[in-house]
Amino acid sequence: MKKLLLVIIAFASVYCATAQKPSKEQKKKEWSKLTSRPGDHIMLQLSYDTWMGVPDSIKSHMTGFSRGFNAYVMIDKVFKRAPQFSVAIGAGISTNNMYFKNYEIDITSSTAKLPFNNLENKDHFKKYKLAISYLEIPLEFRFSSNPANDTKSIKAAIGFKIGTLLNVHNKGKTYLDNNARTIKTLTAKETSNRYFNATHMAATARIGYGNFSIFGSYQLNNIFKDGVAADMKILQIGLCISGL
């Protein structure tokens, strides 16, 4: 028993001697590695887009693969006492492209309400889209399971972004008659922000592994100004590529 006790004491002594707390220099080196890691400073997002709250009269004319593209430059700050967590803020742009069939959204109209025109059995464009772009400031609260090696880490983030309207335009290609025969091959474009909310606010979330993740963004306020159209919001779901 005494021999066993001596062995335990000797083992504990050796362990205590070798398992000392890291020095200040070691801590600084470890912290330097964390603060200089890639940290998802660049985020590129490709998305499938839709509008929520769309009246049936508009939804029935939505067609094709409506899509968006977002790009952000972020500054990532690690929590010193919990390096798995960080907060990031940045700036960038987001775009939303919605496609319609036999339809027209007359954004250059002078009427009080935005005209959504059904062009069934009328002259119309073969391809028609409405494009919206915003300048945004995103904010994220982030988690990384392996902060020392972001490329081999499970990542998750929730956040919020606020932006200002940059541009709204519609674009039509190839003008057809009511029998779908080509009248003229051309591309027409109209630009006007008149009916659109100047501020864009959205809740965001993403989860993934390494440099790839699935993200979602849901607009919190209306696309359009009050009273000019139904209360509709942009929903984006897609792939986020991050790193650097």
pLDDT value for 147: 87
Q: How many domains does the chain have?
A: 1
Q: What is the pLDDT of residues 55-88, one digit of tens each?
A: 999 999 999 899 999 999 999 999 988 999 999 9
Instruction: For the chain, give the secondary structure using H, E and C.
Output: CHHHHHHHHHHHHHHHHHCCCCCHHHHHHHHHHHHCCCCCCEEEEEEEEEEECCCHHHHCCECCCCEEEEEEEEEEEEECCEEEEEEEEEEEEEEEEEEECCEEECCCCCCCCCCEEECCCCCEEEEEEEEEEEEEEEEEEEEECCCCCHHHCEEEEEEEEEEEEEEEEEEEEEEECCCCCEEEEEEEEEECCCCECCEEEEEEEEEEECCEEEEEEEECCCCECCCCCCCCEEEEEEEEEEEC
Within a domain: 34: no
Within a domain: 28: no
pLDDT value for 93: 98
Within a domain: 222: yes
Within a domain: 193: yes
| Residue 221, domain extent | 47-243
pLDDT value for 150: 82
Q: How far apart are CA 98 and CA 195, in angstroms?
A: 16
Within a domain: 233: yes
Within a domain: 26: no
Q: What is the mean pLDDT of each run of 10 residues along the chain (244 residues)?
A: 46 48 52 63 97 96 94 94 94 98 97 96 96 98 90 95 98 95 95 98 97 97 97 98 88
Within a domain: 1: no
Is this prediction's pTM over 0.95? no
pLDDT value for 34: 58
Within a domain: 23: no
